[in-house]
Amino acid sequence: MRQHRFGMRQRHIAVASIGLAMLVSCGLVMPNAAAGPPPPGSGRAGCGGQSCWAYVEGLVTFSGNGYTGAVNPDIAIPPPSCWMQPWMSAAEMYKYFETYIAAGNTGGGAAWAAFADQIKQLNADNAQGVWWASNFDGSAGGSVCVGGLPMIQWVAAGAPPPLEFIPPRTLALLALSRLTVRPPVLATNPVGHSYVGLPTFVTATVPGGTTLSVTASIPTDSETVVATPLKLVLAKTGPGTLFQDCGRLGSTYGAAEMTATGPGAVIDCGVTYSRPSTGGDFTLTGKLYWTASWNGEVLAPPPPLLAIGAPAPVPVAEIQSINRGG
């Protein structure tokens, strides 16, 4: 195991007799500092695991035309194996330091030597802010990871939190989880109505554009995920044949080619109805799947990003003919 530059091995000795503590800002109640929370780098307690990760996620900011504030729960975001977490106020840290470290009640005193003067001065100044501490998930990789973090770090009130431990790809996944894709709006040709046996072509547009992005930012980094349509999939009411070679935004036929297509033809994207809509209009619905990438890496699908548009009414008439034969 790599030794922490502030003496992680000494810090591990100190955990045997120390209980749990956490700042109110992390969503947990802060007990009396004299109870002695686990020291930094202990790999246990504090706001570890999902409680700490939920807090950290709240410190990441999001922007972009694909950001609405909604969260996609299907995006799996593994927490980092090591992290920094808010720990104590200046007064609480001083009390902890005097009770456990300076008094020699733990074996980790050497690791704290570099911080002793700052701890005392911040307490004397009644400084406003929070001491953050390093921690990890107890894994071998986490113990290596935490070796690259400061043991503790003072963050003055209003100063940015130390979030450098969040890997760029994790930031990208956070951006992806905040990406809201837009539903398609379908258009049909023939416009406004169709006929039994005649192919009805379908194309789609996306109001607001077909390139969406979300950027996840921390004070030292920002990562952007970009999404574009991947494939349109149709669903219908009424009897007939669906054609699903739709591509990104429906049929690729030009307007003249659509007009020239006769009854019974096989098309790329649309439907051919087999009876008229005498009891009310049939409907077509489009599901638009999107793909999202970050720095050339495809992040989705899987899981697929899907937006379903409103049903488009399609009245279908029957083509009438007159037989004038003798």
- Are 188 and 312 within 8 A, CB to CB? yes
Regarding whether 137 and 22 lie in a shared domain, the answer is yes
Residue 325 lies in a domain: no
Where is the domain boundary, 136, 166, 196?
Answer: 166
* Residue 2 placed within a domain: no
Residues 39 and 146 in one domain: yes
Q: Which residues contact 45 (CB under 8 A, 6 or more apart)?
A: 19, 20, 21, 37, 38
323 within domain boundaries:
no
96 with 143, same domain: the answer is: yes
Count of domains observed in the chain: 2
* Domain termination residue (choose one: 134, 166, 198): 166
- Assess if residue 3 is contained within a domain: no
The pLDDT score that the predictor gives to residue 107 is: 60
pLDDT tens series, the chain, 326 aa:
333 333 332 333 232 222 223 332 333 323 233 334 554 655 444 555 566 677 788 899 999 999 999 999 999 998 888 888 888 999 999 999 998 888 777 666 788 999 999 999 999 999 999 999 988 888 899 889 999 999 999 999 999 999 999 999 999 999 999 999 999 999 999 998 899 999 999 999 999 999 999 999 999 999 999 999 999 999 999 999 999 999 999 999 999 999 999 999 999 999 999 999 998 999 999 999 999 999 999 999 988 999 999 999 999 998 765 444 54
Residue type for 217, please? S
**Residue-range definition of the domain harbouring residue 117:** 8-166
Q: Are strands 316-317 and 194-195 parallel, antiparallel or unpaired?
A: parallel
Rounded to whole angstroms, how far apart are CA atoms 195 and 133? 71
Are 28 and 158 part of one and the same domain? yes
pLDDT in the model for residue 79: 84
Looking at the structure, do residues 16 and 162 belong to the same domain, yes or no? yes
Q: What pLDDT does 174 receive?
A: 96
Same domain, 144 and 20: yes
In a domain, 322, yes or no: no
- 33 and 111: one domain? yes
What's residue 22's pLDDT?
Answer: 30
Rg (CA), the chain: 31
Token pair, residue 224, equals: 């952007």
Residue 208 neighbours by CB distance under 10 Å: 10
Query: Do 126 and 155 belong together in one domain?
Result: yes
Is 143 domain-assigned?
A: yes
Do 142 and 189 belong to one domain? Answer: no
Quote the tokens at residue 265. 């033809």
On whether residue 180 sits in a domain, the answer given is: no
Is there a single domain that holds both residue 12 and residue 98? yes
Residue 174 lies in a domain: no
Do 220 and 264 lie in a common domain?
Answer: yes
Q: What is the pLDDT of residue 13?
A: 26
Q: Of 122, 138, 166, which one is at a domain's C-terminal end?
A: 166
